[in-house]
Amino acid sequence: MDAAEILKTYFGYDSFRNGQEEIVRSILSGKDALAIMPTGAGKSICYQVPALMLSGITIVVSPLISLMQDQVKALNEAGIHAAFINSSLTEAQITKAMRLAAEGRYKIIYVAPERLESALFMQFARNGKISMVTVDEAHCISQWGQDFRPSYLKIVAFIDSLPERPVVSAFTATATREVKTDIECTLKLQDPRVVVTGFDRENLYYSVEHILGKRKDAYILDYIQKHADESGIIYCATRKNVENLYEKLDRSGISVTRYHAGMDNDARKKSQDDFIYDRVQIVIATNAFGMGIDKSNVRFVLHYNMPQSMENYYQEAGRAGRDGESAQCILLFSVQDVMINKFLLERKEFEGMDIDDIELVRQRDTQRLQVMEGYCKTTTCLRNYILEYFGEKAAAPCDNCGNCHREYYEQDMTAEAKWVVNCVTETKGRYGLNIVIGTLLGANRARLKEIGANTYRSYGVLDQRSETDIRLLIDQMLAEGYIVQTGGEYSVLQVGDIHRLRAESTHVIVRKAQDEEETVKRTKKKKTDSLTGAGFELFDRLRRLRQVIAKEAAMPPYIIFSDKTLIDMCAKAPTNQAQMLAVSGVGENKYQKYGERFIQEITAFLSENPNAVVSTQIDEEPAPVVKKERKAEFYLNREDAERFQYAEYYYISDIRAKLNQVCSAVNVKKVTLSAIWEYLVAAGMTTEEQGQEGYRKVQTERGLELGIKTINKTSQGGFAYQLLMYPETVQRMIVEYFVGSGSEVK
């Protein structure tokens, strides 16, 4: 059989996905391979298919027991002989598995890295024919990865000790440059074929909701009510949060379980199984949960708190929608989350690392946290934010994320900003956010009287404003450096660089989301939406049948068939073997095991509902969704342009504010920073440069000649960064550009 036939026969898929075939071919030609693919892209197929075609055995090194067990179950279901050898087995079981392995019983053997050192295993590996060593979750070998495992370093010695070097393939979902280099070098890959597939997960809808801590529970309750029957994960930053939320949801009668490192092994195992086997709808967990959870029908991942890094977030959120169906990833953000995370990072333990390394890792942690905070606060496309972080060139806004769907309006809050500075000055930089906000609002709190804040000049000056507005303003001022927030447990606000605020031309612009109600929700259609009422009934019946079979076989339901496969089954309504084998995800072995029962169920359904049209065409374009009237892209007319106030130097945000200020056209969008930036890049004045600390915006030769200069700054976290300032010549070019682009708009 060739690779395509194996894919169809064993796994039931008609074609390889992007990147898979390249990896398979490389392995079969004896060339090492490194695949960097996002979660859900289908990495396992890349080594499982060639493993079946190579003459000897494939050893897969994998970091987690649950991950191995799941993979082996799925392989056995597909009719492939596979086994795992790890500490969950007894000595007797291990001996038996090794004996069978030596007899050539298994094509694929999963092991934990520690096992590679055991004498028994070494002996087996030297005598048997090992065709390939596959390293799964290969980023674990890198100290710069987010979960470094020293035992991964033993893999190389193991490979070197084999009589004949097998082909080596490595897989990961972590795409940063350092990690990639580390994998190639540390694993000593030989001129590997490197395949990096896109990190975009089109079926995932991302959004960030800014919610006060105490209102998060209500949000979640409401969300779950609107998504009854859907499987989901809720991540919390701490065990305590997990416990509290669990209590609440459980009391409200929701089908829920919990998972964190403070529970004993059995309780954790039970929680995980209940979730995987669809016995409970929702799991609330810390980040201890999830590695190796291949459950494909997770429809939402909510984050109760902001995670510590984009890598973590991408991985955790990525557990949604592995079947390719629409799923939602929603992060509930409140200001306290940043504090919690700083606190957690301060407590982080660094076992067995040098002082220098610890310092470096600490710095990276802080930077990662800042990137994550940026995600929570950006008002531009969330998907692009993620993709840019992972080094992909962002395209146009995605139109499938919370920020793309939200309408924003801008408020000039310069006057209020000056009062914030006055207030912080009056506190002498001794108090935190809550005191400052309370003072400005003129709140009647004992604590304010105690410290004498009620006698400040700034007391109550902003009492016409809402607390939310003032928080947004302070966020914006922190971002622009007018005030700074100290780190540590008792974080206080202090006056930053307010020089610019004195200039007449400076404006502090706060972007605020339009009310939720006004925002039109335009989530992508789910595939199940293409089922008719009758189709949905069938889907439900097939799902129940799957549940029954899963129980009999003591197997997670999604390993029997994924949701995607069931939906395809409803659409095709197969009533014979050939039709059934044409359903995506139904291979020979699974057909033998379950095909008949599903055909019976479908036949019974069709005879009870002779007129049922089971599905509307699945591949048709989704029905047009209701959109708000689209605004035209930003442009200026000649008169507007003439009102633009030039200055010797402006930051890009000043230029944006000025452009928006002079624009008189109605029903056009506000100009964005990225639109201006894109022009600057296209005109060859600026560019993005990748340095050690990630991307930096810099001027080109031409930009330097035109007078663009760099200003050095330090953020509240002590993180040094640079801002570009643009001279009048460049300001004029930008204005001209937007007048120019206006000529295309009627």
For the bound state, the minimum distance from the C-beta of residue 382 to Zn ion, rounded and expressed in Å, comes to: 5
- Rounded distance, CA 284 to CA 103, Å? 44
- Partner whose footprint covers residue 41, from Zn ion, ligand ADP, none (CB < 5 to 8 Å by kind): ligand ADP
DSSP per residue over 259-316, as a string?
E-TTS-HHHHHHHHHHHHTTSSSEEEE-TTS-TT---TTEEEEEESS--S-HHHHHHH
- Partner whose footprint covers residue 404, from Zn ion, ligand ADP, none (CB < 5 to 8 Å by kind): Zn ion
User: Can you give the length of the chain in residues?
Assistant: 746
β strands within 459-567, DSSP E: 483-485, 493-495, 509-513
For the bound state, the minimum distance from the C-beta of residue 383 to Zn ion, rounded and expressed in Å, comes to: 5
- Partner whose footprint covers residue 383, from Zn ion, ligand ADP, none (CB < 5 to 8 Å by kind): Zn ion
- Partner whose footprint covers residue 437, from Zn ion, ligand ADP, none (CB < 5 to 8 Å by kind): none
For the bound state, the minimum distance from the C-beta of residue 627 to Zn ion, rounded and expressed in Å, comes to: 15
For the bound state, the minimum distance from the C-beta of residue 34 to ligand ADP, rounded and expressed in Å, comes to: 14
Residues lying near Zn ion in the complex (CB under 5 A): 381, 383, 397-398, 401, 404
Nearer Cβ to ligand ADP, position 292 or 496?
A: 292
- Rounded distance, CA 88 to CA 64, Å? 11
Give pairs for 394-400: CB < 8 Å, separation 24+.
399/522, 400/202, 400/205, 400/522, 400/523, 400/524
- Partner whose footprint covers residue 205, from Zn ion, ligand ADP, none (CB < 5 to 8 Å by kind): none
For the bound state, the minimum distance from the C-beta of residue 694 to ligand ADP, rounded and expressed in Å, comes to: 25
- Partner whose footprint covers residue 487, from Zn ion, ligand ADP, none (CB < 5 to 8 Å by kind): none
Helix (H) or strand (E) holding 4: helix 3-6
- Partner whose footprint covers residue 179, from Zn ion, ligand ADP, none (CB < 5 to 8 Å by kind): none
Nearer Cβ to ligand ADP, position 439 or 562?
A: 562
Q: Are 286 and 261 in contact (CB under 8 A)?
A: yes
Candidates 537, 430, 442; CA nearest to 491 is 430
- Partner whose footprint covers residue 527, from Zn ion, ligand ADP, none (CB < 5 to 8 Å by kind): none
- Rounded distance, CA 402 to CA 384, Å? 12
- Rounded distance, CA 348 to CA 136, Å? 26
Nearer Cβ to ligand ADP, position 179 or 735?
A: 179
Classify burial at 26, counting beta carbons within 10 Å of its beta carbon; exposed 0-12, middle 13-18, buried 19 or more.
buried
| Sign, CA torsion 385/371/389/172 | negative
What six digits make up the tokens of 27?
């392995």
For the bound state, the minimum distance from the C-beta of residue 537 to ligand ADP, rounded and expressed in Å, comes to: 25
Nearer Cβ to Zn ion, position 397 or 707?
A: 397
Between helix 414-426 and helix 433-441 the angle, nearest 10°, is 120
Nearer Cβ to Zn ion, position 202 or 693?
A: 202
Q: How far is CA 740 from CA 182, 463, 635, 683, 734, in A?
A: 47, 44, 8, 14, 10
Radius of gyration for the alpha carbons in the chain, expressed in angstroms and rounded: 29
For the bound state, the minimum distance from the C-beta of residue 47 to ligand ADP, rounded and expressed in Å, comes to: 10
Q: Which amino acid makes up residue 29?
A: S
Nearer Cβ to ligand ADP, position 44 or 207?
A: 44
Nearer Cβ to Zn ion, position 398 or 474?
A: 398
Nearer Cβ to ligand ADP, position 582 or 682?
A: 582
For the bound state, the minimum distance from the C-beta of residue 523 to Zn ion, rounded and expressed in Å, comes to: 12
Residues lying near ligand ADP in the complex (CB under 6 A): 13, 16-17, 20, 37, 39-45, 294, 296, 322-323, 562
For the bound state, the minimum distance from the C-beta of residue 398 to Zn ion, rounded and expressed in Å, comes to: 4
- Partner whose footprint covers residue 660, from ligand ADP, Zn ion, none (CB < 5 to 8 Å by kind): none
For the bound state, the minimum distance from the C-beta of residue 562 to ligand ADP, rounded and expressed in Å, comes to: 5
Candidates 470, 110, 97, 145; CA nearest to 309 is 145
- Rounded distance, CA 237 to CA 241, Å? 7
Contacts of 628 (CB under 8 A, 6+ apart): 407, 520
What six digits make up the tokens of 417?
């900003």
Nearer Cβ to ligand ADP, position 260 or 527?
A: 527
- Partner whose footprint covers residue 439, from ligand ADP, Zn ion, none (CB < 5 to 8 Å by kind): none
For the bound state, the minimum distance from the C-beta of residue 84 to ligand ADP, rounded and expressed in Å, comes to: 16
Nearer Cβ to ligand ADP, position 296 or 341?
A: 296
Q: Whose CB is nearest to ligand ADP?
A: 42
Nearer Cβ to ligand ADP, position 299 or 322?
A: 322
Classify burial at 421, counting beta carbons within 10 Å of its beta carbon; exposed 0-12, middle 13-18, buried 19 or more.
middle
- Partner whose footprint covers residue 401, from ligand ADP, Zn ion, none (CB < 5 to 8 Å by kind): Zn ion
Going by their DSSP bridges, the two strands 709-714 and 327-333 should be labelled as unpaired
